[in-house]
Structure 1
């Protein structure tokens, strides 16, 4: 549908429309759960430790499942994975809703369900990322990732929590859980209506035991990551970025708002909203453009410069300046993330995409709890303002070092991504596929082999 703006062109594909509606329902349900579970713990007389146990269950489940989820996404039709995941989530939430509405629920029930939901997400995201290139042409992947970047803050961080608050006010958290069960069930139905696409990998030459096959797949994914310079450099940079900034944002920001501006919960909510709104606008802005020629340089630079406004939080006592700084952070950070998701889908071999996507999540998740664990002690040791000064400056330095040491500039110039071509790196060298791929034609690119 040529009349649609570039950012909305994926909606011209009927299969993508179904997937997008299912994604909206899934994200909405997640947003409702995030608020309803907190208030359910509170209504049970739970302590912050109880809430921490429930929240940690989700993180543990995600870490445990995400690598296996990547293997599954490269071996099983992604439609089946997503349908099963949403069905499991719907049944789990229905059980929690019944327990809550009959006043039979306990904290350990919530912890178990949180663990299960985390594991479900570990299968969902690699499968979703690996499925998009099978549903959309290459020139619409950037827009599709931008749409996801808009939906996540708008639906999961705004609409879902608002609905949860209303459900709790009307009745109880149990009503919120029932809403989640319905939305996830509807998502499963929509996914079930979609067309099944073939897994984009060749069958194994020789049958092997299932456990050995999983080990081989994970090993091959790690080997590909290590041998592909642009991928390894970006993952290492993003891991260090998470280590440096997530703790200050998640742990120290509310104290900065309180101590430096005198603001309360409303002021903190405004600051978070600014980051979310900026992220949505940044995502849709990038989705409306063509993939930039210097895609690696712009992506790394945007991540680094997107953290620079955090310096403002360390030196100001004005809430409006903090809000502006976090808005700019959201714009640049989410815009770069849209580019990153598109690069994975256009430069990673289709047979490897699920595993590489799972490694992306896994590497980031490993450092996130560490960042949050050390943020408090570091803030007390050097002071919150200094901690934000470090969070704003270190990423810029890391970005420059990454571009120089990994030689990402020459890499992107040697491997331009046009609207209709997908450049992938393989063990024997890079291959470009696109319009010619549909007729079986592929042309090699003169690209430096992945480094060991």
Structure 2
């Protein structure tokens, strides 16, 4: 089966196994964090502060993480990030079990976990194309697209709920630490992976984890050198119309879409489907979204990369988000579930293609920085979207906000695709035939 071909490669198999287990731990952490705040007599405000600390760590470090991922062994960056998350979650868990945990300590722990995530993500994105032939990258991103929603939205939270109910939030945090330990073991067993060669310089080896080795590999030159490398990533993005146009669409889509789904969907489920089943209904709608996303990832991963890859991606994201408008009108739960599944399928189809384009059209030595810019742009407007959703619903109503969300995403997706001539761009840069060099390199 085409979707499973990347698992033939030992190094990717280890990488994917570690990611899958740690994603289950991430889903478990979300439940443990919420219940730990409750056990500390906190409320929504306190939970918001803790989750904000995580976001600040992630957003604040993501651009630096991209620079490091392009200058230091990506495998070792991921190892260091997982070791930090392992230590933090174990310490927080032990403090909770000992009755010594305070809210400020939990917030610091969340900040450190978010900061480590900021280094892990761009390194992972940039490492995958070093392990596989180009014609298997779509399937590799599809495998990630299958496991990510299932682990984060289904298996992880479900396991976390069972552990909290049977034991305590502290035990759930220790279980999360165990998931990072497994990821560390998988990364440790991988063979050293050299960085891609830069222009005018040979590919550096997978240097030992010493201060001197890290300095040499990173090409350290202080803050100025790091800022210059960030600017190099920005210059590359500005020079690639397909790249900045897609990021522009993502900014608008996140602004219009994610806030209404996260903030207003619970009220739509409660008020429009009625009764005391609103909590169950919300869980069902979100879980089916994740299942739909996994199905969409598997669907696209089982096929070749479409020749019209930008067209398929932007139609999946733009037109595929239009059904969100129906959330404002639907009065039966099963209809909301169907819409949620459909949007989930389309979202992951676009995500898998996007991840593949980042790995195939962006030069290998820039992939860490470009991936970090992608995350920075995406995460930067998420708090704004959350903040605006509630006031917008008060001003024009929940129905109008959902209609505006669906229509805006579809309109902007079509405008970017046709108005910025991305259809010509995809024909000028065909990816349906893999480059022999990448296949030979991976073999």
The TM-score normalised by the length of structure 2 is 0.93
8 A Cα contact 1:312 1:321, kept in partner: no
Structure 2 partner of 1:28:
24
Distance in structure 2 (CA, Å) of the matches to 1:172 and 1:436? 51
Structure 2 partner of 1:94:
90
Distance in structure 2 (CA, Å) of the matches to 1:284 and 1:90? 30
Deviation at 1:300, TM superposition (A): 0.6
Structure 2 partner of 1:210:
222
Deviation at 1:264, TM superposition (A): 1.2
Deviation at 1:404, TM superposition (A): 2.0
Cα–Cα, structure 1 residues 25 and 436, in superposed 2: closer, same or farther, change >3 Å?
Answer: closer
Matching of residue 162 in structure 1 with residue 174 in structure 2: no
Cα–Cα, structure 1 residues 195 and 418, in superposed 2: closer, same or farther, change >3 Å?
Answer: same
Distance in structure 1 (CA, Å) of the matches to 2:117 and 2:438? 31
Pick one of 179, 183, 186 that aligns with 1:183. Answer: 179
Aligned positions of 1:3-14 closer than 5 A? 5-14=1-10
Cα–Cα, structure 1 residues 437 and 48, in superposed 2: closer, same or farther, change >3 Å?
Answer: closer
Matching of residue 240 in structure 1 with residue 280 in structure 2: no
Deviates more, 1:114-123 or 1:398-407: 398-407
Matching of residue 42 in structure 1 with residue 38 in structure 2: yes
Structure 1 partner of 2:355:
341
Pick one of 43, 49, 53 that aligns with 1:53. Answer: 49
Pick one of 383, 386, 389 that aligns with 1:369. Answer: 383
What CA deviation, in whole Å up to 9, does each residue of 1:404-451 have, x standing for no partner? 2221000111111034229xxxxxxxxxx5457789xxxxxxxxxxxx
8 A Cα contact 1:286 1:335, kept in partner: yes
Distance in structure 1 (CA, Å) of the matches to 2:442 and 2:293? 35
Deviation at 1:171, TM superposition (A): 1.3
Deviation at 1:213, TM superposition (A): 1.6
SS of equivalent to 1:74? helix
Pick one of 383, 391, 411 that aligns with 2:405. Answer: 391
Pick one of 329, 350, 355 that aligns with 2:369. Answer: 355
Pick one of 8, 15, 32 that aligns with 2:11. Answer: 15
Structure 1 partner of 2:208:
none
Runs of 4+ off more than 4 Å: 203-208, 435-439
Matching of residue 67 in structure 1 with residue 79 in structure 2: no
Pick one of 161, 170, 174 that aligns with 1:174. Answer: 170
SS of equivalent to 1:195? coil
8 A Cα contact 2:392 2:401, kept in partner: yes
Distance in structure 1 (CA, Å) of the matches to 2:330 and 2:73? 51
Cα–Cα, structure 1 residues 65 and 204, in superposed 2: closer, same or farther, change >3 Å?
Answer: farther
Matching of residue 139 in structure 1 with residue 135 in structure 2: yes
Matching of residue 303 in structure 1 with residue 317 in structure 2: yes
Deviates more, 1:200-209 or 1:411-420: 200-209
Structure 1 partner of 2:114:
118
8 A Cα contact 1:74 1:201, kept in partner: no
8 A Cα contact 1:36 1:176, kept in partner: yes
Cα–Cα, structure 1 residues 208 and 337, in superposed 2: closer, same or farther, change >3 Å?
Answer: closer
Q: How many residues are matched?
A: 425
Matching of residue 84 in structure 1 with residue 96 in structure 2: no
SS of equivalent to 1:308? helix
Stretches of structure 2 that go unaligned for 5 or more consecutive residues are: 202-215
Pick one of 411, 414, 428 that aligns with 1:414. Answer: 428
Distance in structure 1 (CA, Å) of the matches to 2:363 and 2:419? 25
Stretches of structure 1 that go unaligned for 5 or more consecutive residues are: 423-432, 440-452
Structure 2 partner of 1:201:
197
Cα-Cα RMSD:
1.6
Structure 1 partner of 2:204:
none
Structure 2 partner of 1:278:
292
Distance in structure 1 (CA, Å) of the matches to 2:441 and 2:32? 48
Instruction: Determine which structure has the larger helix proportion and give its number.
Output: 2
Distance in structure 1 (CA, Å) of the matches to 2:138 and 2:430? 15
8 A Cα contact 1:290 1:419, kept in partner: no
8 A Cα contact 2:306 2:432, kept in partner: no
8 A Cα contact 2:75 2:193, kept in partner: yes
Of the two structures, which has the highest relative contact order with CA contacts closer than 8 Å and spacing of 6 or more?
2
The TM-score normalised by the length of structure 1 is 0.91
Distance in structure 2 (CA, Å) of the matches to 1:248 and 1:90? 34
